[in-house]
Amino acid sequence: MRTQVVIVGGGPSGLLLGQLLHLKGIETVILERKTRDYVLGRIRAGILETGLVDMMREAGVSKRMDTECFIHHGTCISYDGEMFDINFQKLIGENVIVYGQTEVTRDLYDARDTAGCRTVFEVEDVEIRDADTDNPFVTFNVDGSARRIDCDFVAGCDGFHGVSRKTIPDTVLKEYEKVYPFGWLGVLSETPPVHEELIYANSERGFALCSMRNDSLSRYYVQCGLNDDLQEWSDDRFWDELKRRVPEAIADSLVTGPSIEKSIAPLRSFVCEPMRWGRLFLCGDAAHIVPPTGAKGLNTAASDVHYLNEGLVQYYRDGDTHGIDTYSEKALARIWKAERFSWATTNMLHRFPDQSEFDLKMQRAEIESLHYNETAQRWFAQNYVGLPY
Ligand code: RFL
Ligand code: PHB
């Protein structure tokens, strides 16, 4: 079998790339290790930058998003019982939207079905071969039989634990990593959100975040230990801990209820360079990870897709390789800035086990600068809504 672009991974980056290429007449096959239901069951990102919103529109999959999303003009930060708002709209005239990654993924799968594009689920043992030649191919097993697809290019959209990055030889690839000494315990509950905007809370008991999906679905997180056992976090313990980390007035108005999903995610900053090896291009979490504090993971995946789509369209339309030749450089320039923002907000809002009293004073000074300095707020706003592509 032959196609133009094999996309390894049917998460949001693979699906978005597939849809954009399809609209330009470029054929793709997506290989996904899990089932569609499993992919749709993962609760992840909730905040979309304007760049991703525009790409959903360009991809022709924005109908539901445009009617069901919530526009957020700003976000709140709390510390020591104080709470302040950073108003993106007033500061820089831009917004973000609340629309879950689950919904983005569902809309993209539906569009792919309608377009009749091929997705193979439950593939095993994917191997990317000869990516450093002009004739790459991908082998895999499905339903017990071995398959091979020849192609022009391979897009590695298979997340942090995928095979694509590992295909690039160690002599070529350089990895940069920081692992944080804590995780986030997340709870999804069918309760109304506690506040109309998100609240990022720095407290002496650790970080907390009040987020949402819609009017009757809330998403909350508390900073937890890396080795915490989910079984030890009953719903009651979670709500109690959350209330102790947010301002009293917020705690008093919090509506609690049974969790419908509960999970722990470790926090990591990671980038690999380069993001291209011959005819293999890495996209999204396959190439980089940010701690979720800046809401940047899905959004950086989208900016990679933007640059790769542009490069591939230029190649097929004009026979021009400039876009694909500069893909890694352009994508990385934006990613490092998102890494810096995510690292800085993580440092500002979390408690670290080895924090000295001096470190705590520095953290406090950082938050107060953001509270009282409009230039600092503008910098935060520009980064949160997303830097231009
Ligand atoms: P994904 O979503 O991991 O998808 C990769 C897909 O590849 C499949 N796969 C393979 N398929 C075939 N063969 C193999 N060998 C394969 N290995 C893996 C996997 O099954 C999967 O379906 O990567 P992608 O598409 O790059 O998308 C990245 C985003 O999912 C991720 O960056 C965000 O979810 C991060 N993130 C957030 N990002 C935001 O922009 N805003 C947020 O508010 C936000 N909140 C979050 C987050 C991530 C979180 N967790 C759990 C890590 C909150 C959390 C708690
Ligand atoms: C979420 O709603 O899941 C969410 C929102 C903002 C973040 C991280 C996660 O920074």
Kindly state whether residue 87 falls inside one of the protein's structural domains. Answer: no
pLDDT at 138: 98
Cα 29 to Cα 174: distance, rounded to the nearest angstrom: 29
Kindly state whether residue 88 falls inside one of the protein's structural domains. Answer: no
Residues 126 and 258 in one domain: no
Cα 89 to Cα 177: distance, rounded to the nearest angstrom: 34
pLDDT band at 102 (very low <50, low <70, confident <90, very high): very high
CA 368, 266, 10, 166 torsion: positive or negative?
positive
Nearest residue (CA) to ligand 2, atom 1 = 46
Nearest residue (CA) to ligand 1, atom 2 = 11
Q: For residue 279, give Cα distances in angstroms to 29, 39, 126, 258.
A: 16, 27, 16, 48
Question: Would you give the distance in Å from CA 275 to the centre of its chain?
Answer: 17
Residues 230 and 325 in one domain: no
Residues 10 and 147 in one domain: yes
CA of 316 to the centre of ligand 1 (A): 28
pLDDT tens digit string along 14-46?
Answer: 999 999 999 999 999 999 999 999 999 888 889
154 close to 138: Cβ distance less than 8 angstroms: yes
Kindly state whether residue 186 falls inside one of the protein's structural domains. Answer: yes
Residues 296 and 286 in one domain: yes
pLDDT at 43: 82
Instruction: Tell me, using a 6 A CB cutoff, whether residue 386 lines ligand 1.
Output: no
Catalytic residues: 72, 200, 292, 296, 384
Which of 285, 289, 306, 334 is the best mutation target for the ligand 1 pocket, counting ligand atoms within 8 Å of the beta carbon and taking the most?
A: 285
Residues 172 and 121 in one domain: yes
Instruction: Tell me, using a 6 A CB cutoff, whether residue 301 lines ligand 1.
Output: yes
Of ligand 1's listed atoms, the one at least distance from the Cα of 265 is 51
Question: What is the CA angle 257-261-264, rounded to 5?
Answer: 115
Mean pLDDT of 44-58: 94
- With a Cβ cut-off of 6 Å, ligand 2 is lined by 45-47, 198, 211, 219, 292-293, 295
Residues 117 and 223 in one domain: no
Return mean pLDDT, the chain: 97
Residues 157 and 274 in one domain: yes
Q: Structurally, how many domains does the chain consist of?
A: 2
Nearest residue (CA) to ligand 1, atom 41 = 295
pLDDT at 180: 98
Residues 360 and 222 in one domain: yes
Instruction: Tell me, using a 6 A CB cutoff, whether residue 193 lines ligand 1.
Output: no
Kindly state whether residue 165 falls inside one of the protein's structural domains. Answer: yes
Kindly state whether residue 89 falls inside one of the protein's structural domains. Answer: no
Instruction: Tell me, using a 6 A CB cutoff, whether residue 33 lines ligand 1.
Output: yes
pLDDT tens digit string along 69-84?
Answer: 999 999 999 998 899 9
Kindly state whether residue 190 falls inside one of the protein's structural domains. Answer: yes
Percent of the chain predicted with pLDDT > 90: 98
Mean pLDDT of 44-61: 95
What domain range includes position 257? 180-267+351-385
Residues 334 and 195 in one domain: no
CA of 4 to the centre of ligand 1 (A): 24
Residues 113 and 29 in one domain: yes
Kindly state whether residue 79 falls inside one of the protein's structural domains. Answer: no
Kindly state whether residue 54 falls inside one of the protein's structural domains. Answer: yes
* Helix, strand or coil, per DSSP, at residue 95: coil
Cα 101 to Cα 40: distance, rounded to the nearest angstrom: 9
Nearest residue (CA) to ligand 1, atom 54 = 44
